[in-house]
């Protein structure tokens, strides 16, 4: 019954959505002719981006994807992921093809090493020249063959000033502070979470020393009772709604959250922190490479880069866009920290496979329940289960046979 109702509704909805297709104001672009190449080819590209990571037209901002569609006639299928590891799993398991992905530095390194990325044709991305030189040829992609920087930023603590003093928020220690038990949120991806523990211990983010990593894992296990939840995108809701008092997160998102709730503030802990670059790449499975490069180029249009940057709050590597930004944004110390702070940062590098496997394994252990049983527990349990099940069935069939006589 319900289905028919739904069907009718859907028909009505489709009709209405067709009527409501509205135009957007197109941004100014460098070379309009460039974008007309696929105008009538009716193709589509799959863009896989972080959640809340593009100007999407809400609150009067520029709807970047729609503008691109209108300008080029290419259909943008836009989906989101919550962490680099999730993106990696999705690509690695196969079965899906994306034309554009936006991973972070260390993940790009890993993907290059595992031959998952397609080299870019920079002739199709003329706007690359507007990227600030500091961001060209980064450590993870030394010859700059595979990636075009989209944003950068640092990791810090976002905290609620009603509960936490500025002084306390200057160290990662607060995430292990008993007083805030149950009010702490933590990253739900392994690299960021381990990073914080490693920094607190005074180790490098990129250590491959198993003892150091194990030590960090122990620290994260210790932290578990204090943590209210392990989150990624959920953090917006939880910090803005004052469900939690403190959490580590990316600077750009912190700006968005502070805009929504004045009680929030951001600090960069004194132990040092992570500086990251998220770059646009084209994976090997891409089907529309040229159209994807067109999309990358479009993202580098000054107006588009500025709109994205304004909307998502992250720092832009785009030199021209930075100039056009409001003073208020471009001088915000959260997005553009001073050199002294930047000196105390370290970026994540690609870790060898053995180390990333260790990360994955330890992280699963941290998240899973703390109780440990002997590792033979499950195999033995299984054998017992099967035996009991067979036994029961034999008994039953014997009983049945007896009954029939």
Could you say which residues in the range 214-253 bind another protein, by CB under 8 A?
Answer: 224, 227-234, 236-237, 241-243
- Should residue 394 be labelled a site residue for another protein when binding is judged by CB under 8 A? no
Residue 401 sits in the site that holds another protein (CB under 8 A): no
Q: Does 9 bind another protein (CB under 8 A)?
A: yes
Instruction: State in angstroms the smallest separation of the CB of 200 from another protein.
Output: 19
Is residue 295 within 8 A of residue 306, CB to CB? The reply is no
- Nearer Cβ to another protein, position 14 or 121? 14
CB-nearer residue toward another protein: 71 or 231: 231
User: Whole-angstrom Cα distance, residue 219 to residue 291?
Assistant: 46
> 44-65 b/e with 16+ CB inside 10 Å = b?
ebbbbbbeebbbbbeeeebbbb
Contact between 110 and 79 under an 8 Å Cβ cutoff? The reply is no
CA 354 to centroid of chain Cα atoms: 23
Interaction with another protein in 175-204: which residues (CB under 8 A)? Answer: 182, 188-190
Taking the complex as a whole, how short is the minimal distance between the CB of residue 235 and another protein, in angstroms?
9
Minimum distance from CB of 244 to another protein (Å)? Answer: 8
Q: Which of 23, 60, 95, 328 binds another protein (CB under 8 A)?
A: 95
Interface mask toward another protein for 125-164; x: CB under 8 A: ----------------------------------------
Angle of helix 251-260 relative to helix 302-312, nearest 10 degrees, comes to: 60
DSSP code for 300: T
Instruction: Single out the residue of 31, 32, 96, 398 in contact with another protein (rule: CB under 8 A).
Output: 96
> Which one of the spans 90-98, 114-122, 293-301, 344-352 is the region binding another protein (CB under 8 A)?
90-98
Return all residues near 38 (Cβ < 8 A) that are at least 6 apart: 72, 73, 74, 290, 291, 294
How far apart CA 280 and CA 274 sit, in angstroms, is: 19
Q: For residues 30-89, which are near another protein according to CB under 8 A?
A: 44, 46, 48, 51-52, 77, 79-80, 82-83, 85-86, 88-89
Q: Does 261 bind another protein (CB under 8 A)?
A: no
- Closer to another protein at the Cβ: 1 or 23? 1
Cα Rg of the chain (Å, integer): 25
Given candidates 43, 61, 73, 97, which one binds another protein under the rule CB under 8 A? 97
Q: Which is nearer to another protein, 48 or 205 (CB)?
A: 48
Minimum CB separation of residue 72 from another protein in Å reads 18
Closest by CA position to 151, among listed 269, 280, 267: 280
Q: Give the tokens for residue 171.
A: 């160290």
Distance CA 96, CA 242 (A): 37
Phi/psi at 127 (5° precision)? -65, -5
Q: Does residue 17 touch another protein according to CB under 8 A?
A: yes
Q: Are strands 148-160 and 273-280 parallel, antiparallel or unpaired?
A: antiparallel
The residue range among 10-18, 103-111, 143-151, 292-300 that interacts with another protein, by the rule CB under 8 A, is 10-18
* Binders of another protein in range 326-385 (CB under 8 A): 359-361, 363-365, 367-379, 381-382, 385
């Amino acid at each position: 019954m319900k289905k028919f109702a739904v069907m009718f509704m859907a028909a009505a909805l489709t009709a209405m959505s067709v009527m409501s297709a509205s135009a957007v104001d197109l941004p100014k672009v460098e070379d309009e002719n460039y974008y007309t190449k696929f105008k009538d080819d009716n193709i589509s590209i799959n863009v896989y981006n972080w959640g809340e990571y593009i100007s999407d037209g809400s609150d009067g901002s520029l709807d970047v994807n729609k503008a691109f569609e209108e300008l080029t006639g290419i259909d943008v299928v836009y989906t989101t992921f919550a962490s680099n590891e999730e993106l990696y799993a999705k690509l690695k398991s196969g079965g899906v093809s994306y034309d554009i992905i936006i991973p972070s530095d260390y993940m790009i390194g890993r993907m290059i090493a595992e031959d998952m990325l397609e080299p870019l044709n920079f002739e199709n991305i003329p706007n690359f020249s507007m990227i600030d030189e500091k961001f060209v040829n980064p450590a993870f992609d030394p010859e700059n063959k595979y990636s075009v920087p989209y944003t950068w930023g640092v990791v810090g603590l976002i905290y609620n000033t009603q509960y936490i003093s500025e002084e306390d928020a200057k160290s990662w220690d607060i995430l292990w502070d008993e007083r805030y038990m149950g009010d702490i949120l933590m990253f739900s991806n392994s690299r960021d979470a381990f990073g914080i523990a490693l920094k607190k211990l005074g180790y490098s983010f990129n250590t491959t020393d198993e003892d150091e990593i194990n030590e960090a894992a122990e620290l994260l296990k210790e932290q578990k009772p204090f943590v209210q939840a392990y989150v990624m995108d959920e953090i917006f809701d939880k910090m803005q709604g004052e469900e939690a008092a403190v959490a580590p997160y990316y600077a750009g998102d912190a700006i968005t959250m502070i805009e929504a709730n004045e009680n929030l503030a951001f600090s960069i802990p004194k132990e040092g922190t992570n500086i990251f670059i998220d770059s646009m790449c084209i994976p090997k499975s891409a089907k529309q490479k040229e159209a994807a490069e067109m999309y990358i180029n479009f993202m580098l249009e000054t107006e588009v880069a500025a709109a994205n940057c304004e909307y998502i709050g992250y720092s832009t590597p785009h030199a021209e866009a930075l100039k056009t930004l409001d003073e208020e944004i471009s001088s915000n110390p959260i997005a553009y920290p001073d050199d002294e702070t930047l000196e105390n940062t370290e970026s994540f590098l690609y870790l060898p496979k053995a180390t990333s496997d260790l990360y994955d394994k330890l992280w699963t252990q941290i998240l899973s329940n703390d109780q440990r049983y002997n590792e033979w527990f499950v195999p033995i349990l299984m054998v017992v289960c099967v035996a009991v099940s067979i036994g029961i069935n034999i008994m039953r069939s014997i009983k049945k046979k007896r009954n029939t006589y």
